Structure 1
Amino acid sequence: MSKSKAVVVFSGGQDSTTCLFWAKKRYDEVIAVSFDYGQKHIKELDCAKKICKDHFIEHHILDMSLLNQLAPNSLTRADMEVEKEAKDGELPNSFVEGRNMLFFTFVAIFAKGRGIKDIITGVSQSDFSGYPDCRDIFVKSLNVSLNLAMDYEFIISTPLMWIDKEATWKMAYELGVLDLVKNETLTCYNGIVGDGCGECPSCKLRQKGYDNFIRNNK
């Protein structure tokens, strides 16, 4: 019998780490793929490497430095501070134009080369920073486009799409990796592992979800 295999888009943050262990429960073999795009919080790749090494998961880091040149944003430019709140009617300056579209496309090419059809990503439409490339309609649309472009039947799964951060913490708890996700992942836009800086939008979203999880699951 052939083994079930999946590739996880893995940043080393809360969501993708939760999805990584979600995938490990469901597939015989899981491969993690991360991206170096010149992000200021590049320590997330160190977290990704450590988690994969500690749990014997094959891990690859792909060079996406071109994205830094094409899409100026506060996650890659030292002279841009991360906005604590987006201006009315505008995307936050932490949005990296085309990031998920490119990441999923390159992961799909990587997966097909290894005969793998299942791709796992931690994007969520329920509890996010307003990024359009985290929406369900985008993922489904790109899934169709990738299938047509490569004449291959990819399946992009989004375990977190319809749940908020509180439920994501609960999922990590149920998977037995709550402490790992809390202490060893990097979600902070300012590059601080674990609980982060506490000030950037990502940290606030993460902490709010954790506080709600603890309060409702005592």
Structure 2
Amino acid sequence: MGPMNNGALVLFSGGQDSTACLAWALSRYDRVETVGFDYGQRHAVELEARQAVRARIVREFPDWSPRLGDDHMLDIRSFGALAETAMTSEREIEITEKGLPSTFVPGRNLVFLVYAAALADRRLLGALVGGMCETDFSGYPDCRRDTLDAMQQALNLGMEQTFRIETPLMRLTKAETWALAKGLGGEALVELTVQDSHTCYLGERGVLHAWGHGCGTCPACELRRRGFEQWDADGRPALAS
């Protein structure tokens, strides 16, 4: 299967950010696999979006298609049940007493990375690629780069490995993420992201807006919409990948 560090495992939810990360990895690594997590999320429609995005990449991006390897789906609903947040239960999306959105699932990205690293170890993949960002985000502490640096060190110490946690969106605004998508895959990747990726926390897929499907009012939709509108107003520039 090739030596460690010759490939990447993308934490792939099927959303805008992870779609950009998948394209970013496919432009850099010879072998790219994806992993998704069923943690009982309200917007479980994203699990269907994952397959739609992957299938369209295979059809429309012949340079990337041979590099796209296996997809893995991990059932961690028992973890999601512990959280009791607006992401996993019918609760209002609001700011909690900790000053964090009620969509924050404590430790979610940390758990994702533990599972991903265990899988990557078996698949001989040296890079773990995630869409975490601390520029335009909802304030989640497990999206910060210092958190991920600590996690990378812990994984490598605990597994006797040399994993790299890659976060290509860490310093980008949402507008710049749209620009990155265009830089990586042109308008075809932008169109794919709009039509097939899913970000809305409420799982709304009825209306297709200029920026994609979604309720338009949840925090995820608001970030995505504002980023698209800013990027579009700037003339839809491409960001060098």
TM-score w.r.t. the length of structure 1 is 0.94
Alpha-carbon distance in structure 2 between the residues aligned to 1:204 and 1:45: 21
The one-letter amino acid paired with 2:198 is L
Asked if the contact 2:81–2:88 (Cα under 8 Å) also holds between the matched residues in 1, the reply is no
Identify the match of residue 8 of structure 2 among 1, 6, 9.
6
Alpha-carbon distance in structure 1 between the residues aligned to 2:117 and 2:55: 23
Identify the match of residue 55 of structure 2 among 43, 53, 56.
53
- When structure 1 is superposed on structure 2, of 104-113 and 52-61 the one drifting more is 52-61
Unpaired segments of 5 or more residues in structure 2?
Answer: 59-67, 206-211, 237-241
Alpha-carbon distance in structure 2 between the residues aligned to 1:95 and 1:70: 12
Partner of 1:42: 44
Cα gap change, 1:90/1:11 in structure 2, threshold over 3 Å: closer, same or farther?
A: same
SS in 2 for 1:116: coil
Identify the match of residue 22 of structure 1 among 24, 27, 33.
24
The one-letter amino acid paired with 1:99 is R
- Determine whether 1:200 maps to 2:218: yes
Partner of 1:82: 93
Alpha-carbon distance in structure 1 between the residues aligned to 2:198 and 2:36: 13
- Deviations along 1:154-179, whole A, 9 cap, x unmatched? 00100000011000000011122111
Matches within 5 A, 1:107-122: 107-122=116-131
Identify the match of residue 173 of structure 2 among 164, 174, 177.
164
The one-letter amino acid paired with 2:222 is K
For residue 53 of structure 1, report the CA deviation from its aligned partner: 2.9
Asked if the contact 1:195–1:207 (Cα under 8 Å) also holds between the matched residues in 2, the reply is no
Asked if the contact 1:82–1:189 (Cα under 8 Å) also holds between the matched residues in 2, the reply is no
Alignment RMSD, CA only?
1.4
Partner of 1:71: 83
Alpha-carbon distance in structure 2 between the residues aligned to 1:88 and 1:111: 37
Alpha-carbon distance in structure 2 between the residues aligned to 1:199 and 1:7: 32
SS in 2 for 1:107: helix
Identity %: 41
The one-letter amino acid paired with 1:118 is A
TM-score w.r.t. the length of structure 2 is 0.85
SS in 1 for 2:27: helix
Unpaired segments of 5 or more residues in structure 1?
Answer: none
For residue 195 of structure 1, report the CA deviation from its aligned partner: 3.2
The one-letter amino acid paired with 1:81 is E
Partner of 1:182: 194
- Determine whether 1:191 maps to 2:200: no
Asked if the contact 2:19–2:197 (Cα under 8 Å) also holds between the matched residues in 1, the reply is yes
Partner of 2:142: 133
Matches within 5 A, 1:201-216: 201-216=219-234
SS in 2 for 1:26: coil
For residue 52 of structure 1, report the CA deviation from its aligned partner: 1.7
The one-letter amino acid paired with 1:76 is T
Number of equivalent positions? 214
SS in 1 for 2:22: helix
SS in 2 for 1:175: helix
For residue 54 of structure 1, report the CA deviation from its aligned partner: 3.2
